[in-house]
Structure 1
Amino acid sequence: MYCLELAGQAGDEPLARLEAERAAASAVERAAPGLATARGARLNRVPTLAYTHRVSELLGRTDADVESAAALLSAASFEKEGSVAVRARDVRSSSGVSASAAERALGGVLVDRGFAVDLDDPDNVLCALFSEDTCLLGWRAAESVRDFGTRAPTDRPFFQPGSMNPLDARAYVNLAAGPSLPNATVVDPMCGTGGLLVEAGLVGARVVGSDAQWKMARGTQTNLAAYLPDADWEAVRGDATSLPLRDDCADAVAFDAPYGRQSKVARHELADLVGGALSEAARIAPSAVVVADRSWEAAAEDAGWRVDARFERRVHGSLDRHVHVLSRV
């Protein structure tokens, strides 16, 4: 069993759990605010997750107080060699437990069991996670790489306002293609500046993008060349409702549909554009994530998709993102 420390706010937890389950873990279940458990984990995929901070080998679960955690650690059976350190957290300040007091007490238990403490470069790290009335103890096994700030949209060689931030783009790629990664082909038929494709390429996928505007297609080429110099990618000008791709050529499709006043794109009305893109996506891939400013569930079902999940996420006062996680019927 494993313990997952989730990232984001409380409202992000359902998305975080599903991202982890699709891309790196199995049988993910909520344990407490900000925490989940999993039956299994692909630890080599944990660094690619957006909404999970770290994964630990679960040692046990108890009440959220220092005494109970120390008793659990004293009674637990485990085989570890080398030095240790304890890292405690009061997740979202929900338990009232002092992290420093927990680290001292649990460190004392480990010293009594014959371990040497090394706070700077330990061989093993014990994570003590307190959330509301629950404490999870586990040995840290893997952490996500939190480098999304290095790819801020405004820092890309090609930038347009309204570009999706890398953290969310990574999450949506994992939701769409997670089970197939890293050996996946991901297509974005409305690629814009290429943010989704950059994140897909960085987690190992072959990426293919198209956009109705030459400006965007060329801009995506520029960004992919900058961030994925050694990866396998293509970006062309194309119509999302008539893709020049063969049937079942991809593992997943992910796209960010036009928002708000962008109600007519090229020669298509918005409903025709999204409906046509959904139909083409179902032709070329078994899985998709569609992000939009409204629900497209009915259109997705008409195009041959099952809606596995839909998340509504606040961007700002006048915009909510609807994230549709789809699987082909």
Structure 2
Amino acid sequence: MYVLELGGQDDAFARREAASAASAVDVLAPGLATARGISDRVRHLAFAHRACALLGTSDPNIESAATLLSAATIDREGSVAVRAVDVRASTGVDTQQAERTLGGVLTDRGFAVDLDNPDHVLYAYFSDPAGDEEGGTGKRCCALGWLAAESVRDFGDRQPTDRPFFQPGSMDPLEARALVNIAGAGPDATILDPMCGTGGLLLEAGLVGADVVGGDAQKKMVSGTHENLTYALDGSGHPDRDAYPEPGEWEVFRSDASALPVADDAVDAAVFDAPYGRQSRIEGELAPLVAGALGEANRVARRCVLVADRDWRDAGTSAGWTVTDYFRRRVHRSLVRHVHVLE
């Protein structure tokens, strides 16, 4: 069993993304989830920072955590370090004192402490729903776990404005990564974005190893996406080739999202950010456009992740999809993204 340290303020969304890289993901406490197993894809999650092999849980205070650690079976050798986290400042625990106390328990059990280059790192997560201002659910607890995997945190260094082709309103890489992960992006998967815009979703899917296919009705968007994918996947804009799998193959074409030049069942998933009515010059045609894109996505893919500025669940159902998850994600005061996961 593993404990996952979630990021952001929407635990349900973070757990849904984590399920693309871990099995049997479930609620533990605010900012924390459990998983039965994890895969290498944990390293490329957007809203999970770490996965730790769960040692056990206790009440969220230092004394209880120390008692748990003293009684736990530890089948490890070498040096150790302890990292304590007061998740969302929900418990008020003194994390430095927690690290000293738990480090002392490990020292008493014969382990050498090495804060700079330890062989093993023990995380102590203290969390309490009563103190979580984000309204997280679960139980109040301290979860102890040995670090098993950390996600690559390079999103702040990769802004849409850094790409060769940029348009206002481009989705940030953190959100885009989460969406393509939910869609199932990874090696041996093919991901389609039928409204690719500047290519941000395709870029993130390609970085984690998926083959990507993109279409857009506007010639400048097709050309711009081609520039961005060349730069980020094949060129000097790749963030770190040692930290990622080999980028997938990619193709971009000009097309109507409701009449794609793609064979039936040719891709594993479609993911797209539909035009926003307040920004689009095709407000009157938006409903048929989205309905057509959903219908085509159902023809070519087994899963679809639709992002929009409104609720399109009825349109998804009418296009033959089953809505398995739905999230409202606030971007700023005037924009809420509606995320639809369709199977």
TM-score, length basis structure 1:
0.95
2:130 equivalent to 1:123: no
Aligned to 1:159: 166
Aligned to 1:175: 182
In the TM superposition, what is the alpha-carbon distance from 1:231 to its structure 2 partner? Answer: 3.8
Aligned to 1:226: 231
Give the alignment of 1:218-257 within 5 angstroms. 218-229=223-234, 231-257=248-274
Query: Does the Cα contact within 8 Å between 1:264 and 1:270 map onto a contact in 2?
Result: no
Alignment partners' CA distance in 1, 2:317 and 2:46: 28
Aligned to 2:337: 321
Which secondary structure state, in structure 2, belongs to the residue aligned with residue 71 of structure 1? helix
Q: Structure 2 unaligned runs (5+)? A: 129-139, 235-246
Aligned to 1:29: 26
Deviation string 1:212-265 (CA, Å, 9 cap, x unpaired) is 000000000000000110641001111100000000110010000000234554
The aligned amino acid for 2:261 is: P
The aligned amino acid for 2:209 is: G
- C-alpha RMSD of matched pairs (Å): 1.3
Query: Does the Cα contact within 8 Å between 2:122 and 2:145 map onto a contact in 1?
Result: yes
Bigger shift: 27-36 or 203-212? Answer: 27-36
Deviation string 1:152-195 (CA, Å, 9 cap, x unpaired) is 011111000000000000000011115xx321000000000000
Query: Does the Cα contact within 8 Å between 2:11 and 2:31 map onto a contact in 1?
Result: yes
Query: Does the Cα contact within 8 Å between 2:42 and 2:150 map onto a contact in 1?
Result: yes
Alignment partners' CA distance in 1, 2:98 and 2:189: 43
The aligned amino acid for 1:300 is: G
Give the alignment of 1:1-329 within 5 angstroms. 1-9=1-9, 12-21=10-19, 23-42=20-39, 44-132=40-128, 133-177=140-184, 181-229=186-234, 231-265=248-282, 269-327=285-343
Query: Does the Cα contact within 8 Å between 2:269 and 2:304 map onto a contact in 1?
Result: yes
The aligned amino acid for 2:211 is: R
Which secondary structure state, in structure 2, belongs to the residue aligned with residue 158 of structure 1? coil
Deviation string 1:62-111 (CA, Å, 9 cap, x unpaired) is 00111111111111012111110000011111111110111001101111
Query: Does the Cα contact within 8 Å between 2:58 and 2:68 map onto a contact in 1?
Result: yes
In the TM superposition, what is the alpha-carbon distance from 1:150 to its structure 2 partner? Answer: 2.2
Query: Does the Cα contact within 8 Å between 1:301 and 1:307 map onto a contact in 2?
Result: yes
In the TM superposition, what is the alpha-carbon distance from 1:28 to its structure 2 partner? Answer: 1.1
Query: Does the Cα contact within 8 Å between 1:263 and 1:269 map onto a contact in 2?
Result: no
The aligned amino acid for 1:311 is: F
The aligned amino acid for 2:149 is: A
Alignment partners' CA distance in 1, 2:285 and 2:148: 49
In the TM superposition, what is the alpha-carbon distance from 1:27 to its structure 2 partner? Answer: 1.2
The aligned amino acid for 1:184 is: A
Alignment partners' CA distance in 1, 2:334 and 2:85: 35
Which secondary structure state, in structure 2, belongs to the residue aligned with residue 283 of structure 1? helix
Alignment partners' CA distance in 2, 1:55 and 1:296: 34
Deviation string 1:244-292 (CA, Å, 9 cap, x unpaired) is 00001100100000002345549x8111110000000001110110000
Query: Does the Cα contact within 8 Å between 2:187 and 2:248 map onto a contact in 1?
Result: no
Which secondary structure state, in structure 2, belongs to the residue aligned with residue 164 of structure 1? coil
Query: Does the Cα contact within 8 Å between 1:265 and 1:273 map onto a contact in 2?
Result: no
Alignment coverage as a number of residue pairs: 320
Q: Structure 1 unaligned runs (5+)? A: none
Percent identity among equivalent residues? Answer: 64
1:174–1:49 distance in 2 versus 1, CA, 3 Å: same
